[in-house]
A and B are shown apart, each in its own frame.
Chain A
Amino acid sequence: MGSPPLFYRWATSSLPWLAGLAFLMFSAGLIWGIGFSPADYKQGDVYRIIYIHVPSAILAESIYILMAVSGFISMVWRAKIAGMLINSAAPLGAGFTLIALVTGSIWGKPTWGTWWVWDARLTSTLILFFLYAAIIGLHSSIENKTKADRAVSILAVLGVVIVPIIKKSVDWWQTLHQPSTFTLTSSPSMAPEMYLPLLVCVLGFYCLFIFMLSNSLRGEIISRERDKTWVKKQFFKQ
């Protein structure tokens, strides 16, 4: 799967299956969680947004790590597809981070009474969003897309080194400037009736991401390799 034409062929044949799996897992998890899991004794029904919020947040982190690994592969082995993967995954990662932030805000208003609070997790998610934006901005500003891939690989690799440092320092900054009457009420020990749909939702979001990434990467490959013979043969069958 390392070379663009092979990935293109694999993606074209697998996309219907990936789409079906993603649709199945995603809808199963969400319907089970939002429709059928028991109501929380403290928060009532508003906690159900957790089935969107938590998978988005998990995915936001994982996509960044995926981009960093891909960047490392691109820098060391000069694999073209690794560079293209960063470009395809970055908007998806930014989107999931945004969903996590917005659903978190919506969840926070009825439960904490405020749309936003500067606690460690929210602050580091916001910073992660800025990192995604930096990658998207840098890639779009460089004309030569192969060069853009390499520039963005440098940024992704640097980011993955700095992100744990940022998280640690934000954590410690939080304890230093502890707001007086605030406690985080999410993620206590959960009953299995609530936990299992959450697991299915997380898997469903991952499947959705893999489907969207394969789709986007397939389009990216065609767009980048448009001068190559294999692309011409694909679309202009003589």
Chain B
Amino acid sequence: MINRDNTFNWFMLVLRRDLTLSFRRSATYITPLIFFLIVVTFFPLALGPSQSLLSSLASGIIWISALLSSLLAVEGIFSEDYRDGTLDQYFVSSEPVFVLIFAKVLCHWLVCGAPIILASIISSIFLYLPSGVLFALVTSLLLGTLFMSLLGALGAALSLGKSAILSAIIVLPFSIPTLLMGTAIMSSAINQQDYSGFLSIMGAMLAIGIPGLCLLTVEAILLNYE
């Protein structure tokens, strides 16, 4: 029997549902990974295979590819549910909708963020990333892709049913702080300096972003119900 007593149970219900649906179609978690690897491959193809050049650009290339992949992957987060009426059910339930929206975003991050992190570890080999910074890479990408999923969900909600590139134009300027923080973490790690301050700033952005962006996303989805 489904427990409907409190909001947390609803949160877990939506999370479990979205995870089940995402894993049914392998395209959901394979395509972000492949797109990431293709974009990363294009950089040595365009810039030449020189090890010194690539290793100096490696963290920037990995971060930009991660941004673009997580942005494109989050495009269809609401389209299916909007079309078949599940989103309506979220709105007429007595639960705060932004919590349920966060469940969707979290599921998306778990499903698409993990392949991106894996792909970034592979890319660190492709791009001759200096050794010893893998931990910094993974932690910064974990936080960064979550923020990108939140922003991307807002962009997807604003441009529901329209082109993905419009959503990209809307979301990318707002992802600049994340990009700057992430690459700062990487360059500090490469120079063996302490990067915990930058991680705190990213954490703070998430702390404000999770409720704030989910609330704005709810507003944006409501626009389509006029």
Contacts and interface: CB of A to CB of B under 8 A. Distances in A.
Interface of A: 75, 127, 130-131, 133-134, 137-138, 141-142, 144, 146-147, 150-151, 154-155, 157-159, 161-162, 165-166, 169-170, 172-173, 176
Given A162-B177, A170-B176, A154 B169 contact: no
B39 interface: no
Nearest to A140: B166
Contacts of A75: 219
Contacts of A162: 173-174, 177
Listed residue (B159, B166, B177, B213) with the most chain A CB atoms within 10 angstroms of its CB: B177
A141 B176 contact: no
A147 B223 contact: yes
B181 A169 contact: yes
Interface in B143-197: 154, 158-159, 162-163, 166, 169-170, 172-174, 176-177, 180-181, 184, 187
Given A141-B162, A151-B223, A154-B216, A169 B170 contact: no
B223 to A, nearest CB: 5
B5 interface: no
B223 A158 contact: no
B159 A158 contact: no
Contacts, number: 67
B179 to A, nearest CB: 9
Interface residues of B, number: 26
The secondary-structure label for the interface of chain B is: helix
Interface of B: 154, 158-159, 162-163, 166, 169-170, 172-174, 176-177, 180-181, 184, 187, 205, 212-213, 216, 219-220, 223-224, 226
Contacts of B181: 169
Contact of B166 (A138, A147, A169): A138
Given A75-B219, A138-B170, A154-B219, A169 B154 contact: no
A155 B169 CA distance: 12
Contact of A151 (B158, B169, B176, B177): B158
16 contacts: A75-B219, A127-B173, A127-B176, A137-B169, A138-B158, A141-B159, A141-B163, A155-B158, A158-B216, A159-B174, A162-B174, A165-B205, A166-B173, A166-B177, A173-B184, A176-B184
Contacts of A138: 158-159, 166, 170
A169 B158 contact: no
Given A146-B226, A151-B220, A151-B223, A158 B176 contact: no
A173 B173 contact: no
